[in-house]
A and B are shown apart, each in its own frame.
Chain A
Amino acid sequence: MIVAFRDNVEGILLACAELIENPDCDLISAKDKDELKQKMDFTGIDEVKVFGFRCVADTTMLVRNIFGKQGSRMFQRDPDVEGYIAMVLRHGSSKPIELVRFLCSCKGNAELLYSGKSITGKKYYNYMRAVSRSYHRLCMFARPYLVNGVLSVKVDSPHRIGDMFCRWLARKNPDLPVSVIEGDVAWIGNGGHVGLEHFTKVPSSLAGSLGFSNACDEVDEMWDMYYDSQMIQKRRNKSHAKQLQPKDSASMSMMSERDRYKVERGIANCTLDNFASNPDV
């Protein structure tokens, strides 16, 4: 028998439940029905159970059925099992079939997802942490611009987390529509303000027409001045600061790039302006 499932949280959990019932079944995963059809044509097997292409299951109940009462997580910030699967699926290297088999191998012990005691467990835990870290870094270092009344930002992440970030940004700014452009798609949050759905996905060309500017504006200047004012030279801990404001943060926005530069090089006490305004120097 073949179990075909969609690579979303619901599909993974349903496939997992089925695999526990029928450990000998084969697994096929697909992003959508078209992909599934292509894969099924190739196998030529008739006995197929398809999961996850219609939203019918309550994922919380499924998790409870598979893992029972969940134990405490390794780190306080670790997500629950649903969140764990959602995060792992966003990782570019994750393999849904392997993930389903790993979840089954835990035999109802959710702690094994977080403890990293097996090689696969460690790998998927690291995937989850990598996605989670990317998301948090976006929340920290992405700097949206207010363009034509829409708070817009372009993000570039190895994992598909544009929608997560868009939801976070929309929660933070409930009074403004927000647009997060990720590759060829754009996520619109608080769309009600501009006559769209509350949260929707549109082609990036639509949101891209808002226009962006890389030039420093008044807010950038104010931030630079504020950032510089908070530095205490006596307490400078360069290596610690470099760890916290990592190199890849510089690629997220112009502001973060300048901050990272100052973390690496320090803040210059003397600038060219000093020479221009005082020729004696």
Chain B
Amino acid sequence: MMFFKASFITKFFFSSIISVFTLKIIISYCFVLLPVLSVFFLNTFTPLASGLYSCHTYYLLMIQRNPANEHHMTLMERMRVLSEGTKYDSCNQSAVCHAFGPDGRCIQLYKTLMTNACSGECTYCPNRCGRDSVRASLSPEEIVKITWSFYRRNAIEGLFLSSGVIGDAERTAEKQLDVARLLRGQGFTGYIHIRVMPGTPKYLLEEIADYANKFGVNAETTSSVNYSEICPNFDYQSDVLQRLQWTRDLINKKRCEAGFQGRIVGANDTQFVVGALQEPDREIIETVEKFMDRYELRRPYFMSFDPVPFTPLESNDPSPLWREVRLYQTSYLLKDYGLTASDLDRVLDDNGFLVDADPKMLLASCSPDMFPVNINTASREQLLTVPGIGPVGANRIIQSRPIKSEKELTRMGVVLARARPFIEINGKKQTNLFSFAGVGA
């Protein structure tokens, strides 16, 4: 019993000591160790974890946005991205071409976007806001440096500058103006073509006109309804047509200024996206004629629609390239041959679309009574109706009369293979099936 009592007391004593010790440990853990350990863990692992997380997120973003370049983009890489963004833009300025690409198009200007990070939501555009793509920008100083480098090397004649919309049209135009101002300030005498954004304020257009040789806004389509569908951020009437009118006025004003410091002042120009909205060619031709009449449009540019992945129009069919070519041909008929849009109705199908054939050849085929044309007696207007004879060729023919052989015509740039069925030289003409059969002329 005594042993039991002694052991119980001992047990109780030791257990009390242990409990007190344990309690002390627990208390000390709670009040001292826990904060220390917490601080240690927080200090050590939190930044690591957050760092890892942010690295992971950045990595994912890079993979998603820019799978090829998981690093800061160099000047060359940015240059490539932005130059590719302008490769569909035509910018002929009838000066020295310095190179010809493998596709046969000439390279005479350094064409670039300032940025492809655009706040616009144009439904056909690869640079539209919100689309996953590699975004890059060039500063005005960088563009100036590249332009000078190419210009000194005689690789270009000037600069073609376009851009995505940086916030709004005004800010974008200011940036574009910075480039032009910098270049001219450094004594650049080359050609500068600025593609301004829809909605650029008039005061900035006036300033741009002081520095650029050519500037203009893209109409993209034929009507307000169509425009609001493909460019929802801008208004056709006020942001495009009004600007075309201002551009026309500014160009005329600059041309009146004596010599304009010996600088070329380019005519108004604009670009249409063909086939994005299934608008018929008749509508495009009529719009071009209207623009030529109202805004003194010299030459329209056409860009075939090609659906871009991850854009609202990605499921639309691409427009055939031949359509673009035929539209260019009809625009020349309007510009250089004195035809009107109603004259061209004969070359359109029932739905108002062009067919894949030379419109001038179709027009000639529609009027067999007018041919053959006597090369030595026909008027300039009659010569112009002959396929294979253009305005320059017609002038040469008139200048070089009398013409005795086909060889002379070839020398004057006449495409004889096309012209032969429609002409007569010294009483000689090609026999066609109708005359062979004794039907008609």
What size tier do the contact residues of chain B reach?
Answer: 35 or more
**Binary contact readout B90-108 vs A (1 if CB under 8 angstroms, 0 otherwise):** 0000001111111111110
Which chain A residue has the least Cβ–Cβ distance from B87?
Answer: A230
Report whether B395 and A72 are in contact in the complex, using a CB–CB cutoff of 8 Å.
Answer: yes
Report whether A235 and B152 are in contact in the complex, using a CB–CB cutoff of 8 Å.
Answer: no
Report whether A245 and B99 are in contact in the complex, using a CB–CB cutoff of 8 Å.
Answer: yes
List A contacts of B102 (CB < 8 A).
231, 236, 238, 241, 262-263, 266-267
Q: Number of residue pairs across A and B with beta carbons under 8 Å? A: 131
Given contacts A71-B399, A226-B83, A229-B80, contact A241 B392 (CB under 8 A): no
List A contacts of B149 (CB < 8 A).
218-219, 222
**Stretch in A38-46, A56-64, A141-149, A200-208 touching the partner:** A141-149
**Residue A133 at the chain B interface, CB threshold 8 Å:** no
**Residue A136 at the chain B interface, CB threshold 8 Å:** yes
B412: which of A74, A151, A222, A240 is its contact (CB, 8 Å)? A74
Report the separation of the CA atoms of residues A236 and B149 in the bound assembly, to the nearest whole angstrom: 28
The smallest C-beta distance from B100 to any residue of chain A, in angstroms, reads 4
Given contacts A241-B100, A262-B102, A266-B102, contact A229 B83 (CB under 8 A): yes
List A contacts of B104 (CB < 8 A).
235-238, 240-241, 244
Report whether A227 and B99 are in contact in the complex, using a CB–CB cutoff of 8 Å.
Answer: yes
Report the separation of the CA atoms of residues A256 and B101 in the bound assembly, to the nearest whole angstrom: 11
**Residue B396 at the chain A interface, CB threshold 8 Å:** yes
Which chain B residue has the least Cβ–Cβ distance from A153?
Answer: B154
A144: which of B88, B100, B101, B154 is its contact (CB, 8 Å)? B154
Which chain B residue has the least Cβ–Cβ distance from A142?
Answer: B154
List B contacts of A145 (CB < 8 A).
153
The smallest C-beta distance from B234 to any residue of chain A, in angstroms, reads 27
Which chain A residue has the least Cβ–Cβ distance from B306?
Answer: A234
User: Which residues 111-125 of A have a CB within 8 angstroms of B?
Assistant: 111, 115-117
**Residue A28 at the chain B interface, CB threshold 8 Å:** no
**Residue B302 at the chain A interface, CB threshold 8 Å:** no
**Residue A169 at the chain B interface, CB threshold 8 Å:** yes
Report the separation of the CA atoms of residues A115 and B409 in the bound assembly, to the nearest whole angstrom: 11
The smallest C-beta distance from B79 to any residue of chain A, in angstroms, reads 7
Report whether B105 and A146 are in contact in the complex, using a CB–CB cutoff of 8 Å.
Answer: no
List A contacts of B146 (CB < 8 A).
222
**Residue A158 at the chain B interface, CB threshold 8 Å:** no
- Smallest CB-CB A-B distances: 5 pairs: A240-B104, A237-B104, A241-B104, A229-B83, A244-B100
Q: Can you list 28 A-B pairs with a CB-CB distance of less than 8 A?
A: A72-B395, A74-B396, A74-B399, A115-B400, A140-B96, A141-B98, A143-B155, A172-B189, A173-B152, A174-B189, A175-B187, A176-B152, A219-B150, A219-B153, A222-B146, A222-B150, A225-B76, A226-B79, A226-B83, A227-B101, A231-B103, A232-B103, A234-B321, A238-B102, A241-B100, A241-B104, A245-B100, A262-B101
Interface residues of A (CB under 8 A from B): 71-72, 74-76, 111, 115-117, 136, 139-146, 151, 153, 169, 172-176, 218-219, 221-223, 225-238, 240-241, 244-245, 255-256, 259, 262-263, 266-267
